[in-house]
Structure 1
Amino acid sequence: MKKKILILATALFFLLFNGFLYVTLTMRLGNNYSGTSQLKMVDVGKFLPFEEDSELARTGSSLYFTSEDDLPVLDGAAALVPVYASVIDNIYPEGCVTYEGGVFSDDNYYGENFADDSVMQYQNTIRGFDALVDGSVDLFFTAHPSKEQLESAAEKGVELEIVPVGLEAFVFFVNSKNPVDDLSVEKIRGIYRGQINNWKEVGGPNRTIDPILRIKGSGSQTMMEKFMEGDMITKRDPLDVFGASIGYSFRYYLSGMIANDNVKMLSVNGVYPNAENIKNGSYPISANFYVVYRKDNDNHNVKRLVDWLLTDEGQAMIEGCGYVGLK
């Protein structure tokens, strides 16, 4: 009799324990609107110059470099790979983009496969900016450099020229199952200052808000710190993983380069971040993106290229890439 009671008690314990896990973990994680809110890495292979199937803006150019020219080396943030790859495709001679081993590798997530003599590099914001300062890269395409990056350049005695060449929206995104479609600037800041912690406070479900953060020094993190006026959380509560996340990035990076049907961009102050609303200024969080070069760079083709980006041809190419031109 005692053995039966013990067996029944053990079975009841495991039944209740499994029920507890289902309610507190499995059920919540199964509908937490979070997993697909994480950004993926850029598939650089989709944006290789001189490849027939590459997704580049082949709008043409009256400026053309030959193999005899001193060719500027280009690098940039992940969000701007299509722009500087299109510059190379429209203006540079074939054969100037080279790879270690002779061919592009599908594992080339962080530019490891580009050869040292290649005019196209992909080291992303942090390493790429350092390469610009050190002189191994001539032109760097990026959001505005952070205060720390500018200070680092100044400490090395490097003066930089920072030229706006296009316009882009800074966006916030959530899982497509999240019923929230719009947030005000004030509510977004409230979330990222730790003042709003549940989606029900902004018209959503009774779920904890999981605010995703980006790497310090990345273009999106620098833009976010500027948007937050320097007052934002610096780390997440580990328990927020059981809630529903929100993240931030640049519009075309999210919608064009790593498009994901399970993620949706939010309207801000009732305005959706499409190209038209960026152009007419109604979307409230837009920013320039830039090309940066060292002032002491003596390659005259650097300035020629920057000047071309500001012409009608250059601006047409930028819009052809999916971004918004300055004009």
Structure 2
Amino acid sequence: MERSLLARIMDFLVLAAFLGIAGFLAFFFTALSGGDRFYWWLIAVITVAAVLFVGIGIFAKVRERLLFKTAIGLLIASGLTVAGYEGFQYYEASIPVVSEQDFDLQAYKPFREGTKAKALERPASLSLKRDLPRLDGATALYPLYAAFAQAVYPKSDYDLYYSEVMANTTPDAYQNLIDGKVDIIFAAGPSDEQLEAAKEKGVELKLTPIGREAFVFFVNAANPVKGLTTEQIRDVYAGRITDWAEVGGKPGPIRAFQRPKNSGSQTMLEKIMGSEPPMPAPEEDIATGMGGIISKTADYKNYENAIGYSFLYFATEMVQNGNIRLLEIDGVMPDKDAIRNRTYPFAAEFYAVTAGSDNPNVGRFLEWIVSAEGQSLVEKTGYIPIADGK
């Protein structure tokens, strides 16, 4: 005897509520554990499909055999979807990444046994025993100012994040300097936002040039494009040039990576762009400890259609990724000779930046850095001494 419509509705509501609660719990715990958004949506789709499946089974006159086959088909489709997603994730993970995690800064710590930080051939003319200037700076410049500290500071274990010789990246270093937590930072010139932050705090930033470096663009080594013009760089990062075929490459969309806001390299890109801001950067979702999702600027991932940028020393000495190739700019390859003679268009000074510290040794230390001894460490490390860049 066929059950009444009311009874079937009640059965559907009970089962739908059960499936909805189960789906919500699965969704919640997946999100809480930091699971990929893909699985969030998969759980939601499966939950909705299950509810629809139950509804069809209760209200429509469908053979049980057909329902069983449909359920098996849905399970197989879900399994294939997961397999395809995980396969793509594995492929993505196999593509080399250029980021600040590609190397170990510990290898450049001053006084560490076997340190990569360069050393003078004889003791430095300056030796500081107390009132050590607190140092911070850009990741790519840590090998240089670690060498300065090794030459002048007393032997000690200088922690990378909690000592007189730290490496907190350009944005954090500028903030630490503005807040008075450090005395000198080593970085590219400040961004407009960093200058404004200093002004609001009543702090005047003083930039002492200590060397020169090239700002470089790089692509996958398999990319046939050997170089771009300055105007083409601007057009790529403004979104006007979007396909490699437009600049002599193989047809395919250009994936233009960027660096985080207020980093030294991002500030350099913005200076190249002039009054025109770069287009929005590729982002990636990062799961936080409580399962939330934040978005951050994606690190350069070496797809065959990718383009990225950094500074020459970072890209060639610290990362040493053989899968990327530097681009010529306006027909000039970025190398030390081109930096010295200023034929490479994106060569610029980097600085020791101060903000009115009352530490009596800040001035002495800066004078030593621009002396022949300090500048010899600039050259030994792999940068161009400021005297050679004049």
Query: What TM-score, normalized by structure 1, do the two folds share?
Result: 0.81
For the structure 1 residues 78 and 167, does the alpha-carbon distance in structure 2 shift closer, same or farther, using more than 3 Å as the test? same
More deviation, 284-293/122-131: 122-131
Which residue does 1:64 correspond to in 2? 126
Q: Give, in whole Å, the separation in 1 of the partners of 2:207 and 2:154.
A: 26
Taking every aligned residue pair, what percent have the same amino acid on both sides? 39
Q: Residues 229 and 330 of structure 2 are in contact (CA less than 8 Å); yes or no, is this contact kept in structure 1? A: yes
Q: CA deviation at 1:263?
A: 1.1
Q: Deviations over 1:53-102 (max 9, x none)?
A: 111120245333343x211111100110111100011111102x344xxx
Structure 2: any 5+ residue segments left out of the alignment?
A: 1-64, 284-300
Q: How does 1:133-148 map to 2 (within 5 A)?
A: 133-148=178-193
1:202 is aligned to 2:261? no
1:325 is aligned to 2:385? yes
1:285 is aligned to 2:346? yes
For the structure 1 residues 278 and 250, does the alpha-carbon distance in structure 2 shift closer, same or farther, using more than 3 Å as the test? same
Larger Rg: 2
Q: Which has the higher helix share?
A: 2
Q: Deviations over 1:268-290 (max 9, x none)?
A: 11111111111111111101000
Which residue does 1:304 correspond to in 2? 364
Secondary structure at the residue paired with 2:351?
strand
Which residue does 1:43 correspond to in 2? 104
Secondary structure at the residue paired with 2:118?
coil
Q: CA deviation at 1:149?
A: 0.5
Q: How does 1:1-327 map to 2 (within 5 A)?
A: 35-36=95-96, 38-41=98-101, 42-59=103-120, 60=122, 62-67=124-129, 69-95=130-156, 97-99=157-159, 111-112=160-161, 114=162, 118-236=163-281, 244-295=305-356, 297-326=357-386, 327=388
Secondary structure at the residue paired with 1:300?
coil
For the structure 1 residues 82 and 164, does the alpha-carbon distance in structure 2 shift closer, same or farther, using more than 3 Å as the test? same
Q: CA deviation at 1:243?
A: 6.9
Q: Give, in whole Å, the separation in 1 of the partners of 2:181 and 2:376.
A: 29
| Count of matched residue pairs | 300
Deviation beyond 4 Å, 4+ runs, structure 1:
none
Answer 1 or 2: higher relative contact order, Cα 8 Å, separation at least 6. Answer: 1
Q: CA deviation at 1:36?
A: 3.2
> How big is the alpha-carbon RMSD for the aligned residues of Structure 1 and Structure 2?
3.4
Q: CA deviation at 1:154?
A: 1.2
For the structure 1 residues 133 and 61, does the alpha-carbon distance in structure 2 shift closer, same or farther, using more than 3 Å as the test? farther
What amino acid maps onto 2:186 in structure 1? F
Structure 1: any 5+ residue segments left out of the alignment?
A: 100-110
